[in-house]
């Protein structure tokens, strides 16, 4: 495959605030000449009340998802919180070939799959300021049932240790500096790899 653009793989637990962060970063990067877009995934999850078809996700049913798996439609896909999510192969290939960098907001399983492919990519794990903040944000969202919140928190807790396999770890405790760090990563100017501050923070988060 002809490749010019690069992939930025961003994982974070639900409620970490990654969508707001990514939207801010995208609008700030619009002013620069760097071309970056957000990939739109397919999912079998039902839309939330503020979500729109083909903008937030391509919402499809389980049968259509299964057919797409068989047709090798997905570059990667995974079952996350009881629903399927996947990234379209052709969408990614076309964007990269035309020199567009793409942000993929995908879970740890998806990142593992993309890392097996020979595509230029950087992985970024976004940590929440605390586990309480995750629960608060999920409850405030109002579109998750108590069971769904519980499942999302359990998954968040079990996936946090996997952050050490990512190229970059960011803590979303200060929105402005976190978005600046993400911009620096995308521009290739980020200079703080995994360090003791992050290890300390992670130990506290998991204790
Ligand atoms: P949500 O239901 O809150 O939109 O997303 C739930 C989880 O699915 C998040 O961790 C998100 O990163 C992940 N996700 C969204 N799209 C994809 C995708 O295309 N592939 C994979 N592997 N995970 C995805």
Rounded CA separation 109/100 (Å): 24
Q: Give yes or no for residue 96 CB within 6 A of ligand 1.
A: no
pLDDT along the chain (207 residues), means of 10: 82 87 93 89 95 96 98 97 95 94 97 94 91 83 79 85 91 92 92 72 79
Rounded CA separation 10/163 (Å): 11
Q: Give yes or no for residue 14 CB within 6 A of ligand 1.
A: yes
**pLDDT score, position 70:** 98
Q: Whose CA is nearest to atom 3 of ligand 1?
A: 14
Best residue among 90, 107, 116, 148 to mutate for probing ligand 1's pocket (most ligand atoms within 8 Å of CB) is 107
Q: Give yes or no for residue 109 CB within 6 A of ligand 1.
A: yes
Q: Give yes or no for residue 39 CB within 6 A of ligand 1.
A: no
Q: Give yes or no for residue 45 CB within 6 A of ligand 1.
A: yes
Residue with tokens 């964007």: 95
Determine what percent of the chain falls in helix, strand and coil, rounding each to the nearest 5. 45, 20, 35
Question: pLDDT tens digits, residue range 88-142?
Answer: 999 999 999 999 999 999 999 999 999 999 899 999 999 988 888 888 888 887 7
**pLDDT score, position 62:** 98
């Amino acid at each position: 495959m002809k490749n010019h653009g690069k992939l930025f793989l961003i994982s974070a637990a639900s409620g970490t605030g990654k969508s707001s962060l990514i939207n801010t970063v995208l609008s700030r990067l619009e002013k620069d000449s760097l071309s970056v877009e957000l990939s739109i995934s397919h999912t079998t999850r039902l839309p939330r009340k503020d979500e729109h078809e083909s903008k937030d996700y391509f919402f499809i049913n389980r049968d259509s998802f299964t057919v797409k798996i068989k047709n090798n439609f997905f570059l990667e896909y995974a079952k996350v919180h009881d629903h399927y999510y996947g990234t379209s192969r052709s969408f990614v290939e076309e964007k990269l070939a035309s020199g567009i960098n793409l942000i993929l907001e995908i879970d740890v399983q998806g990142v593992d799959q993309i890392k097996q492919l020979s595509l230029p990519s950087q992985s970024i794990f976004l940590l929440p300021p605390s586990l309480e903040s995750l629960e608060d944000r999920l409850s405030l969202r109002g579109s998750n049932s108590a069971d769904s919140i519980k499942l999302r928190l359990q998954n968040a807790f079990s996936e946090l240790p996997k952050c050490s396999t990512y190229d970059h770890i960011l803590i979303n405790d200060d929105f402005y500096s976190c978005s600046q760090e993400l911009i620096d990563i995308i521009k290739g100017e980020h200079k703080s790899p995994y360090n003791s501050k992050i290890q300390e923070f992670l130990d506290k988060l998991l204790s």
